Amino acid sequence: MSKRLRSSEVCADCSAQDPCWASINRGILICDECCSVHRSLGRHISQVRHLKHTPWPPTLLQMVETLYNNGANSIWEHSLLDPASVMSGRRKANPQDKVHPNKAEFIRAKYQMLAFVHRLPCRDDDSVTAKDLSKQLHSSVRTGNLETCLRLLSLGAQANFFHPEKGNTPLHVAAKAGQILQAELLAVYGADPGTQDSNGKTPVDYARQGGHHELAERLVEIQYELTDRLAFYLCGRKPEHKNGQHFIIPQMADSLDLSELAKAAKKKLQSLSNHLFEELAMDVYDEVDRRETDAVWLATQNHSTLVTETTVVPFLPVNPEYSSTRNQGRQKLARFNAHEFATLVIDILSDAKRRQQGNPLSGSKENVELILKSISNQHSSESQDNDQPDYDSVASDEDTDLETNAAKSNRQKSLDSDLSDGPVTAQEYMQVKNALVASEVKIQQLMKVNINLSDELRIMQKKASKLEKQNSMPESDYDNPTTSLELDETGSGRKGRQRSVIWQGEGSIPEDTDTAPSSNLPSTEDVIRKTEQITKNIQELLRAAQENKHDSYIPCSERIHVAVTEMAALFPKKPKSELVRTSLRLLTSSAYRLQSECKKTLPVETCPTTDIQLVTQQVIQCAYDIAKAAKQLVTITTKENNN
């Protein structure tokens, strides 16, 4: 894709140079800022994907390129091209415009309200109009004119329209004609590759019959896109459909001993009607897309945007076509921590395979929310008995983007055992192993992130030095902070060690129930100074990971833990601000998790390379969470102390 990018390419919404994202269903390229608005609208409005940092099926990318190069954007801005629109004061956004309200209002009008799309003459019977459009679509897909078909779809043509005279759907026609890009576009708009025509044949059958083997293979992939995406999310690979393998059911290391609550949740899932099960599966698919796109977003942004208006999407946006109950259930998915969400994904994969193989269970009208609640309760009860939780269960509307990264971490935590289509072969094992090598890319990204973070902290420090001197620091309700003089050569002080014992037992902020909540916050300068130390230590750890110096993990993690301890000690024992408590909880629990992961490198001589790679990815993830939490605390204290 990078070879294709040209300086002439601009964002479809604000004309900014070198857009990095694509909206697949709109056939356009967009910049970072406009992408943040697209994401907030939901996938039912715009399906975004990064051009470089997200895997693309080659023909899907080719479809977007073709639409973009053939002026697909004019479909969505038809009336703006009319000179009269200039006279009326309507214009598209500029790169210099603010995201809110300027760009956001324009993008909502353009895609959500379809305010600028060419309107057909009003007719009394809308269904006839839709039928006519669908018949035109049915005829057009046998050609290579993608933008014509996109225009018809934008006006209301149905991708799954069954032509009463022809006895087939547009996808059947595209498959017969070998139009693979048309098939991609139809699939984006919901066309089903498994639909049978009046002769009982599917689009896949016609593609094979016509010798269009690439198209046939791609249609099979599209047919299993939902379950493939869920499997890839957890274990980093997809089934080999060409070899007759259509499902991968990952297994987590700690899922063998299922609790009664877990069994009950699984039973409720199995008892759902096919319709309700499909709805739940699609909602989980959307949540996977949200979490994965958040991870790409966090890895590719200039991280000064993390605390501005263009932050990640905290939960699935409302889809007005769904009931309020379903929308509430969709949003609750964001509160699932990585372990809970992975359990739900695995159960859905298992049941999808069972249903396809025709093993129906007795129907039931159990509410989908009961399933989500049961899984959540199961892990809540388990975490109470677990002193070393695998993942931080903190989730608030301000901080749910962190779960994206925890879920990524969970992908390596999962044991990639394909229990559904035969044993894991040597080839499959190598595929997983090769996928783990991608951690090198993440290391490079995080090194860049931390360099940006250091620069930003220096800027904040300069600003803070201009503020009025704080009169006197109120004594912290925490234990007295450990100073650098109290540290021994290993970087851990006596009081720091005492504090770490408390955190290791709880994995969160120690709270004294007898202490009243305090709104006192440390000075911005102190917080910046401690954050710089944390950042410096994280950079040392990432360099060690980059250079495969695994024996440096433990001393680096100890220095990070001490720096985190000192920073947390600056804050009251019981902060009044929920945001401060959330950030401190993430900071301290991530530091503890980091130490736990680094200790796994001790028996180096007995640890296979793959295990080291797994540990490295976990270590990188913990370091990222620590850096983000520290930055949040800097931002909070800077804002509060400036008020």
CATH number of the structural domain spanning residue 168? 1.25.40.20
What is the pLDDT averaged over residues 326-340? 90
Mean pLDDT lowest for which of 39-53, 55-69, 248-262?
248-262
Residues 6+ apart with CB under 8 A from 459: none
Q: What is the dihedral of CA 494, 637, 296, 112, to 10 degrees?
A: 150
Q: Is the pLDDT of residue 546 over 70?
A: yes
Q: Would residue 482 count as lying in a domain?
A: yes
Which residue range(s) make up the domain with 394? 240-429
Chain CA centroid to CA 127, Å: 37
Are residues 415 and 445 both part of a single domain? no
Are residues 141 and 167 both part of a single domain? yes
Are residues 204 and 253 both part of a single domain? no
What is the pLDDT averaged over residues 520-533? 86
Are residues 55 and 166 both part of a single domain? no
Q: Number of structural domains, the chain? A: 4
Q: Would residue 7 count as lying in a domain?
A: no
Q: Would residue 12 count as lying in a domain?
A: no
Q: Would residue 15 count as lying in a domain?
A: no
Q: Would residue 404 count as lying in a domain?
A: yes
Q: What is the CATH number of the domain that holds 488?
A: 1.20.120.330
Are residues 512 and 370 both part of a single domain? no
pLDDT digit string (tens) for 486-525? 333 333 333 333 333 333 333 444 444 456 677 788 888 8
- Residue 86: the pLDDT is 54
pLDDT averaged over the chain?
Answer: 76
Q: Would residue 624 count as lying in a domain?
A: yes
Residues 6+ apart with CB under 8 A from 6: none
Q: Which of 46, 79, 112 is the last residue of a domain?
A: 112
Are residues 54 and 107 both part of a single domain? yes
Are residues 621 and 507 both part of a single domain? yes
Are residues 188 and 249 both part of a single domain? no
Are residues 219 and 131 both part of a single domain? yes
- Which of 408-412's residues contact partners 24+ apart within 8 Å by CB, and which partners? 408/291, 408/292, 408/295, 408/621, 409/338, 409/617, 409/618, 409/621, 409/622, 410/234, 410/252, 410/338, 410/339, 410/341, 410/342, 411/233, 411/234, 411/235, 411/236, 412/436, 412/614, 412/617, 412/618
Are residues 468 and 401 both part of a single domain? no
- Residue 26: the pLDDT is 98
Are residues 495 and 617 both part of a single domain? yes
State both tokens at 192.
Answer: 């089903």
- Residue 392: the pLDDT is 29
Q: What is the CATH number of the domain that holds 90?
A: 1.10.220.150
What is the pLDDT averaged over residues 237-253? 87
- Terminal Cα distance for the chain, rounded: 46
pTM over 0.75: no
pLDDT digit string (tens) for 254-266? 554 466 777 788 8
Q: Would residue 121 count as lying in a domain?
A: no
Q: Would residue 2 count as lying in a domain?
A: no
Q: Is the pLDDT of residue 179 over 50?
A: yes
Q: Which of 83, 112, 141 is the last residue of a domain?
A: 112
State both tokens at 191.
Answer: 């066309």
Q: Which of 383, 400, 429 is the last residue of a domain?
A: 429
Are residues 31 and 91 both part of a single domain? yes
3 state SS of 252: strand
